[in-house]
Structure 1
Amino acid sequence: MQTFERLERTPATIFNPKAFKPKAFKPLTLATMIAASIVAVPASADAVLDRITALEQELTALKTQLKEKEELQHKKGVELKKGTRFQYGGYIKLDSSWSNYSDAQRANNVGDDFLVPSTIPVGDGTNDGDTVMDTNAKFSRLWFKTTTETSAGTVSSYIETDFNGSNDERLTNQSFNGLRHAFLKWDYSDSSSLLFGQTWSTFFNVGALPEAIDFVGPTSGTVFVRQSQVRWTHKLGNGSSVMLAAENPSVGVWDGGGGFANNDTDDSATPDLVARYNGKAGNLSYSLAALGREITYDDQANDQDDDDYGFGVSLSGKYMFDNGDDIKFMFNHGNLGRYVALQAFRDATVEADGKLDLVDVTGGYVAYRHHWNDQWRSTLSYAYSSADNPNSLATSDSVTKEVSNANLNLIYSPTKKLSFGAEYIYAEREVESGLDGDLKRVQFMGKWAF
């Protein structure tokens, strides 16, 4: 009886996750234990099945525990030196696209790599169009992150680069790498942190950007800016938080004739200031951001200068359906200039009297993503923005009045981080004179994230 009781306790003890050490486990050990346990149990089929079932449950629990430990180890990274953990990642992506411009040859080949609304040529329909094929891997990227626990709190660093620079396609296709992100973040308490460096503008809610094969996606209606800044974040609980930031200023203005003003427009003496609230209500997560910025110019050649203060607001978010589908949206308004549509619009116009006339921009996007099954998904989006340009620009063929684009894609992921997809893009641009043009593009991609 004593022998039986010891055997009765042995499997449970051995398979207790707290007592079991994975590196000492061998398949033969499990087989031996099962055999010994079965032999010791009275010859009852039900008892034998119960014992095997219990052992299987213990083994499943152990595997789950080991998997969770591995995932946690991956998230925390590898400790390269005492107190500091290191992580790296990125992806390799190949893009291939066929682009048809309705009116004349495209104005700038940067628009062949991804949608840049301001480069869509316009005309009266009498010019021949232009079709261009382009393939590149320049949007592949690599990032590194460190995390260090200190007596003052957690300090982390992040740096990311891609290769979205100019390249010579004739021979080597060598592209220049560029700095995307470089910042440090200090979590000085459980609820508050400070960020110093270059990253996405606080005015831009990156979580509301829909999945696209194009580099941006809903380009015509989205805020899309990375810049150096100092940012304070404070968590309020229940998934909400507030952010305050001072960010690098930059200004672009038109002269009264519709050309880019020949003056020093990067003359701001104050940073762009951003306040943002992030909230959550059920399946809806959203952000409301406000922007204040000094808009200046200094034409030293003609002894003219002026400054004004512009404002902008942005509401964006994501609604998750119970089946995994989602809707993402953004609405923007104000003196936004470079912040919207990859600077399709300027901040102001220098009028004949030397005074600035600020430009109001209004627009946004909506996108719906549907999961066909665990491996296939599609996103349909529409984006639009328009500028209330001053009357002095009413007949200009170079000043953009409005831009829009619609995207529809189909993406297949045979495993979590491997994706292949195709996307159709239709984009339009209209200038103040009334001329317009459109772009039709079919784009394919293959991507592996690591």
Structure 2
Amino acid sequence: MLNSRLLKTKLGLTTAVLALTTGLAPMAAASTNPDLEARIAALEAMIAELRQEVAAGQAADAEQVVRVEQIEAQVAAAPAAAAASGASGFMAGNTRITMGGFVDADYHVTELSDGDFAPTSIARDFYIPGATPVGGSGDSRVDNDFTAKGTRFFFATSTPTDNGEIRGRLEFDFLGSPGGNERVSNSYNPRLRAAWLQYGNWRMGQDWSTFQNTAAIPESASFLVASDGMVFVRQAQLRYTAGNWQFALENPDTTITPFGGGGRIDGGDGALPDLVVRYNHSGDFGSFAIAGLARNLTYEGAGSDDSTFGWGLSASGRINLGDSSDLRFSLSGGEGMGRYIGLNAANGAVMDGNGGIEAIPSFGGLVALRQNLGDGRRFNLGYSHLEVDNDVALSGSSATASVYSGFANYMVTLAPGITAGAEILYGERELESGASGTISRATFSTKYTF
């Protein structure tokens, strides 16, 4: 230690000075030279000062030795505590960091009745109800897509403090990437999924909406199925959890259907955040959640400034059927839910001829059965539906009036962490004009979870 080395150096210097003083003592007795006497007095003063420093150094070094022994004891105990609790990952200071995710390879074969997806459309990678083409001309050919963009990774952190643990999560995948193409390297940019911290009962950052129950999402060979009537949103929020209750203020972005229908405009974020209240309950039967949503839908632009109230109610859950089988369900309805359901198949509000807006009623849900077959094999079967009650002014327009889909898949665990699956899906989208288009898709996937 540094103090020990300094102490040894001072002791060495002290010994040398003492020896020199001893040699000069006879000379001092035999002579009364004033210069020599002054030098001896100066050396004696230096010796006294060095003795004080040595004494202080010994005390400080003793304290340091005790402190080092305490730290070494803590370090020795830390691995044992981590092993006892099953902790993994690595330490950065006093923060434990873990990493996980999966490598996902999907092969899609898609047939559309009324058009085609753009080459870079995210609808090529998973089912998006509102993206199904309507009114176009089908090319009578299937499209084949190989992709690994569903691959995902995350970092989770845990930091102990005197006031409790601080947890965090940072998660990415590559779906919907603005970069990359299929010509040569297929180099796609990471996409932020989640970024939050949890301190006590508070969660701050981007996460699944509190209005959504992820336990109700069906198992799929693709990234997502049954999204028509599913509540599915990730966004920035401030959430407080008290027992079974959760309260959240969330991102208030409003999507609006223009007057006359067709397209979508961003109405702005408004003056108030979206408010979500949710109650969770679980037991041997499974789990369920009831959630309420309140929104201040706004439009700002083109010489107009208007707002209206939106709301939604949702009940969802997972019922255990024994032998790792279960039934998953979701049922939601309201006025102005918009982007919260069906991956924004319908908007939250519609603009009238005077520049004002009105909330759009919608109602949807899903049901999915997961049946365990043993030996790591299972099949999933499900149906999802969304109905939208657009304003009568949109009658005959290209606004989405309804979407529905059904799916079935077979999944098998080949080895720990490795799952393969095959899935078929059929979906239909209908417009207010009465026109409709369909999608048929087969998916084959392999996923390695780590």
TM range (shorter): 0.7 to 0.9
CA change 1:358–1:98 in 2 (3 A) is same
CA–CA separation in structure 1 for the residues paired with 2:131 and 2:83 = 45
Q: Give the secondary-structure state (helix, strand or coil) at the position aligned to 2:254.
A: coil
Map 1:211-360; keep pairs closer than 5 Å.
211-235=219-243, 241-260=244-263, 265-299=267-301, 301=302, 303-334=303-334, 335-360=336-361
TM-score by length of 2: 0.78
CA–CA separation in structure 1 for the residues paired with 2:208 and 2:154 = 15
Q: Give the secondary-structure state (helix, strand or coil) at the position aligned to 2:220.
A: coil
Q: Note the C-alpha offset of 1:365.
A: 0.1
Assess if the C-alpha contact under 8 Å between 2:360 and 2:391 holds in 1. Answer: yes
CA change 1:399–1:211 in 2 (3 A) is same
Amino acid at match of 1:258: G
Q: Note the C-alpha offset of 1:72.
A: 5.8
CA change 1:120–1:72 in 2 (3 A) is farther
Match of 1:93 in 2: 104
CA change 1:73–1:407 in 2 (3 A) is same
TM-score by length of 1: 0.78
Amino acid at match of 1:338: R
The CA RMSD measured in Å over matched residues stands at 1.9
Q: Give the secondary-structure state (helix, strand or coil) at the position aligned to 1:214.
A: coil
1:386-415 deviation per Cα after TM superposition (whole angstroms, max 9, x unaligned):
10000011011x211000111100111022
1:67-94 deviation per Cα after TM superposition (whole angstroms, max 9, x unaligned):
xx998654x2235145322211010000
Q: Note the C-alpha offset of 1:106.
A: 3.3
Q: Note the C-alpha offset of 1:104.
A: 2.6
CA–CA separation in structure 2 for the residues paired with 1:199 and 1:439 = 30
Q: Percent identity at matched positions?
A: 35
CA–CA separation in structure 1 for the residues paired with 2:197 and 2:311 = 28
Match of 2:440 in 1: 440
- 1:135 aligned residue (146, 154, 163): 146
Q: Note the C-alpha offset of 1:128.
A: 4.4
Assess if the C-alpha contact under 8 Å between 1:102 and 1:130 holds in 2. Answer: no
Map 1:48-197; keep pairs closer than 5 Å.
74=86, 76-106=87-117, 109-123=121-135, 127-164=138-175, 165-166=177-178, 167-187=180-200, 193-197=201-205
CA–CA separation in structure 1 for the residues paired with 2:329 and 2:210 = 17
Gaps of 5+ in 1: 1-68, 188-192, 236-240
Match of 1:37 in 2: none
Amino acid at match of 1:295: L
1:3-52 deviation per Cα after TM superposition (whole angstroms, max 9, x unaligned):
xxxxxxxxxxxxxxxxxxxxxxxxxxxxxxxxxxxxxxxxxxxxxxxxxx
- What count of residue pairs does the alignment treat as equivalent? 367
Match of 2:53 in 1: none
CA change 1:87–1:295 in 2 (3 A) is same
**Which structure has the larger Rg over C-alpha atoms?**
2
Assess if the C-alpha contact under 8 Å between 1:294 and 1:310 holds in 2. Answer: yes
CA change 1:421–1:70 in 2 (3 A) is farther
Amino acid at match of 1:87: T
CA change 1:208–1:158 in 2 (3 A) is same
Assess if the C-alpha contact under 8 Å between 1:429 and 1:438 holds in 2. Answer: yes
1:272-314 deviation per Cα after TM superposition (whole angstroms, max 9, x unaligned):
1100000125413100000011101012x3x222101100011
Assess if the C-alpha contact under 8 Å between 1:218 and 1:381 holds in 2. Answer: yes
CA–CA separation in structure 2 for the residues paired with 1:393 and 1:292 = 25
Q: Give the secondary-structure state (helix, strand or coil) at the position aligned to 1:111.
A: helix
